[in-house]
Structure 1
């Protein structure tokens, strides 16, 4: 038997600066990104009418991203260094605490992309 998997992508605009980098490193300066956040969910069985999870049930994550991160300086919002890796962990924890209990599918991973070619992913252990 196999496993079904779905993914949903969200976007927001934000700025950050990364501390602790060598002098002159471009990421040490305030700069912005068009972030893309992708969540992946999996299930061994589908629920009626044939879903892992209804995509509409993931809308609260989009609302959280817009309310908390959109057009913000991530250094002011997060209590950790605002790297894509740390943001992915933060969002996975938020998802597990706020959405997962009511969903039939289980969160597998959260991917955060700063650019079209650069991303970080946090995989959730089953």
Structure 2
């Protein structure tokens, strides 16, 4: 009996990781009619999932060290947590547009400093409802 697992052939492919962040916030969607429930002030326990990929791994074998994503959490905590999103964001705070906005923040502020490339951002407003923004990159 061996003390080590058997050697296997490592297939080629891409590596993908995801990290979830949470925050509490209120919002309303001002462009909706007043009788629409989302046109009125309400709140959510948001969950944001950031998905990154890479063809190769940084030492010791990471797409991105999860700890290197901490500046994104700091941004969420400072700018979005316990805020009225329609008052602090330059967009209508739908889940779809929030996912796109957060993807833009990551690309502008985080991606240049960490290995890996952003694939998508998912924003969950509820346990059963979410929106996903997939990043489309120019062909190289």
| Shorter-normalised TM range | over 0.9
Mapped to 1, the partners of 2:31 and 2:104 lie a distance apart of 25
1:2 Cα offset (Å): 1.1
Q: Paired residue for 1:113?
A: 124
Alignment equivalent of 1:58, drawn from 58, 69, 72:
69
Q: Paired residue for 2:102?
A: 91
TM-score (norm: length of structure 2): 0.87
Q: Paired residue for 1:81?
A: 92
Mapped to 2, the partners of 1:104 and 1:65 lie a distance apart of 21
Q: Which runs of 5+ in 1 are unaligned?
A: none
Mapped to 1, the partners of 2:34 and 2:58 lie a distance apart of 53
Q: Paired residue for 1:39?
A: 50
Mapped to 1, the partners of 2:97 and 2:43 lie a distance apart of 16
1:23 Cα offset (Å): 4.3
Q: Which runs of 5+ in 2 are unaligned?
A: 1-11
Is residue 2:23 matched to residue 1:12? yes
Runs of 4+ that moved beyond 6 A:
none
Which gives a bigger RCO, structure 1 or 2 (Cα 8 Å, sep 6+)? 1
Q: Paired residue for 2:8?
A: none
**Structure possessing the higher radius of gyration over alpha carbons:** 2
